[in-house]
Amino acid sequence: MKRTQAEQQLRRVGVFTDTDEPLQEKLSRFERNIDSALVAHTAQKAERWTTKRVRAGEIFVQYWEAILYDAASGAGVVLLPRPKSDDAGKMVIVKNASNSATAWDVRAAPGSQVDLATSVTITGALNGAEFITDGSNWWSV
């Protein structure tokens, strides 16, 4: 049986071995496993998110939390958690859920920064931002 170049390379690195199972069946099984893993991973991330509606004041936010603030109730400050190295990739969403343009600050925990500053300001009706940590600081995306 003649092997394709791709099959030969996959055999060389140990992905496939000589069996009776045709290459196409192995590839199909492999793709199904990858698809299942991606679906499970996506569902797991979606289950983590919680949403909190808040009014004026100082709000402590947790990882995987979406803050919907009412800017019409006045100014506020959202305090981001202090990131640790194993927190890289964790996120927070902050959104003005009103027609008011009252500014809200998003402040980094002491010892960390958000966009190379101690805080960023969200202004304008219905504006918002997502924040992701690299394990030491926060970045708006």
Domain boundaries, the chain: 5-46, 49-140
pLDDT band of 48, cuts 50, 70, 90: confident
Considering all CA atoms of the chain, what is the largest pairwise distance in Å, rounded to the nearest integer? 74
Please list the helix, strand and coil fractions of the chain in percent, rounded to the nearest 5, in that order.
30, 30, 40
Please give the average per-residue pLDDT across 66-93, as a whole number.
94
User: Which CATH superfamily is 49-140 part of?
Assistant: gp9 (2.60.120.640)
- Select from 118, 111, 120 the least CA-distant residue to 140: 120
Highest-scoring range by mean pLDDT, 23-27, 46-50, 57-61? 57-61
Residue 16 has pLDDT above 60, yes or no: no
Write down the pLDDT at residue 49.
87
Write down the pLDDT at residue 23.
64
pTM summary value: 0.67
How many CA within 13 A on the CB side of residue 37? 6
Please give the average per-residue pLDDT across 116-135, as a whole number.
95
Spatial CB neighbours of 74, under 8 Å, sequence gap ≥ 6: 55, 56, 57, 102
Write down the pLDDT at residue 27.
65
Tokens standing for residue 79: 């305090």
pLDDT band of 15, cuts 50, 70, 90: low
